């Protein structure tokens, strides 16, 4: 029961934090349309102050439990990501080693073949010159 209560407080806190950040940016839009109106300026400054209060209340609701919940999920995700990257690097490194070895062997065979053909052509050329 206590964990559900903490989760509900955390969700309420995150909701307040998100809403305060969004509203804090939207507050400045009316000032673009009515830059000379003193009533709009004062009301938007008050609204901006209210968004800061919402932010602080949201941080208080999210609390230390919320921080630990987020950090545990972050660490878990980081561990999974690092494991996946290491796995893929090992897999692809083995494939690349096999590919490089295969290409090296193909290159050696090609050089050997070209060398033999060149030698045969030089040999034929010298035989015709000798006759």
Per-residue pLDDT, 100: 65
Tell if the pTM clears 0.75, that is, is over it: no
Residue 28, classed as helix, strand or coil, is coil
Distant-in-sequence, close-in-space partners of 28: CB < 8 Å, separation ≥ 6: 44
Q: Say yes or no to pLDDT of 16 above 60.
A: yes
Q: What is the mean pLDDT of the chain?
A: 78
User: Model confidence at 96, in pLDDT bands (50, 70, 90)?
Assistant: low
Mean pLDDT of 44-68: 88
Report the distance separating Cα 49 and Cα 25, nearest Å: 12
> pLDDT value at position 93?
64
């Amino acid at each position: 029961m206590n964990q559900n209560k903490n989760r509900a407080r955390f969700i309420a806190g995150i909701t307040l934090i998100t809403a305060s950040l969004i509203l804090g940016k939207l507050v400045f839009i009316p000032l673009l349309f009515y830059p000379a109106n003193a009533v709009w300026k004062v009301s938007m400054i008050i609204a901006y102050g209210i968004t800061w209060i919402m932010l602080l209340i949201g941080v208080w609701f999210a609390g230390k439990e919320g921080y630990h919940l987020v950090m545990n999920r972050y660490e878990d995700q980081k561990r999974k990501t690092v494991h996946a990257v290491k796995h893929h690097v090992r897999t692809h490194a083995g494939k690349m080693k096999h590919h490089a070895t295969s290409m090296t062997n193909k290159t050696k065979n090609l050089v050997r073949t070209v060398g033999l053909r060149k030698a045969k052509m030089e040999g034929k050329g010298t035989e015709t010159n000798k006759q």
